[in-house]
Structure 1
């Protein structure tokens, strides 16, 4: 990935120097997402992807979102890259207003 992290939600072209900034932006600047599998409302972007793949099977995701294997692989790669790079506790603290 480039040295900048893109938001990518709803055509948003905001870009950030850190992954933490990008995820906080997605969480605070965009509408929440309703999971099409279970109806849970979660922040859009990384947290929506994490919810979908941690709480549901890939088959449920494919059916609910009319997705294909490329869609699954793309989201799994995003989730993996963020989890390998980000300080997730910093993100949670910033969203909760602790930092």
Structure 2
């Protein structure tokens, strides 16, 4: 079972990909405290922080501790072991295109 856990959200589902789509569509976007880039909250924000910035930048900008880094790195590995991230990105891109067409 995959649980959202963004701001007390209680959304839970058996499929990691559906969880990532939920996080991207149901929650406000996250602004990176290091570089200011805006992205979906949850997995995508965590992945951005650890693929684009150093651990030191993360610790400083988010006033985090090393345990916070270990937890988030573990979450990235678990999600990527279960979810087809490229398929999620395609789904999210399709959602944006449909919304633009309907407007």
Please indicate the TM-score interval, normalised by the length of the shorter structure: over 0.9
**2: CA distance between counterparts of 1:6 and 1:31?**
17
TM-score, length of structure 2 as denominator length: 0.89
Tell me the CA shift for residue 17 of structure 1.
1.1
Aligned counterpart for 1:52 among listed residues 49, 55, 62: 49
Paired residues in the alignment total 95
Aligned residues: CA RMSD: 0.9
Aligned counterpart for 1:86 among listed residues 64, 83, 86: 83
Tell me the CA shift for residue 58 of structure 1.
0.5
Q: Does 50-59 or 78-87 show the bigger shift?
A: 78-87
**2: CA distance between counterparts of 1:94 and 1:16?**
17
**1: CA distance between counterparts of 2:86 and 2:54?**
26
Structure 1: runs of 5 or more not aligned = none
TM-score, length of structure 1 as denominator length: 0.93
Structure with higher Rg: it is 2
Tell me the CA shift for residue 25 of structure 1.
0.2
2:34 corresponds to 1:34: no
Tell me the CA shift for residue 81 of structure 1.
0.7
**1: CA distance between counterparts of 2:40 and 2:11?**
17
**1: CA distance between counterparts of 2:32 and 2:3?**
22
Structure 1 runs (4+) greater than 2 angstroms displaced? none
Q: What secondary structure, in the 3-state scheme, does the structure 2 residue paired with 1:83 have?
A: helix
Structure 2: runs of 5 or more not aligned = 96-103
